[in-house]
């Protein structure tokens, strides 16, 4: 367990500012998406293995609780994707740009792009949820 303690205290106490936060966020969002994907592949496979139960699985996705989680999932995927592209670009194409000021700037751009994609997507998903689950907007 000492490894767990060392790694976790390192995560919490290291002060790498923007780079550190984006590292942590990249980890958490990647793990969250991966966990979702395991469940998602299994529920999609119901169409073949248990077609009678597929609708039950989808009904869970339509619940208000999942509707909120979905907004979070979309944030995770967008942030992880945009930030991952940033990492891949610097590593594969322009490693000479790995400097602290450039990272401070590019992590902020990453967050901005993520929010620009996420806010309209969330608005549409929230609209759908209010329309179908709460009867708003004439639903």
Q: Rule CB under 8 A: which residues touch another protein? A: 3-4, 7, 27, 30-31, 33-34, 37-38, 41-42, 44-49, 51-52, 54-55, 58, 61-62, 66-67, 70, 74, 77-78, 81, 84-85, 87-88, 91-92, 121, 124-125, 128, 132
Using CB distances below 5 to 8 A depending on partner kind, what does residue 16 bind out of another protein, ligand HEM, none? ligand HEM
In whole angstroms, give the CA distance from residue 90 to residue 40. 31
In whole angstroms, give the CA distance from residue 77 to residue 83. 10
Torsion of CA 104, 108, 114, 119, to 10 degrees: 160
Residues in the chain: 139
**Of residues 13 and 138, the one with the C-beta less far from ligand HEM:** 13
CA 124 to mean position of chain CA atoms: 17
Decide if 46 contacts 74 (C-beta within 8 A).
no
Residues that bind ligand HEM (CB under 6 A): 14, 16-20, 23, 26-27, 30-31, 33-34, 37, 40-41, 44-45, 70, 73, 77, 80-81, 84-85, 87-88, 100, 103-104
């Amino acid at each position: 367990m000492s490894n767990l303690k060392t790694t976790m205290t390192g995560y919490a106490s290291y002060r790498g500012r923007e780079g550190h936060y984006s590292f942590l966020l990249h980890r958490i969002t990647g793990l969250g998406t991966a966990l979702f994907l395991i469940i998602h592949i299994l529920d999609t496979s119901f169409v073949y293995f248990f077609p009678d139960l597929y609708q039950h699985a989808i009904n869970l996705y339509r619940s208000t609780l999942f509707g909120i989680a979905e907004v979070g999932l979309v944030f995770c995927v967008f942030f992880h994707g945009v930030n991952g592209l940033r990492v891949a670009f610097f590593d594969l194409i322009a490693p000479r740009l790995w400097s602290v000021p450039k990272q401070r700037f590019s992590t902020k751009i990453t967050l901005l792009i993520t929010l620009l994609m996420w806010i309209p997507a969330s608005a549409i998903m929230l609209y759908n949820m209010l329309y179908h689950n709460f009867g708003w907007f004439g639903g």
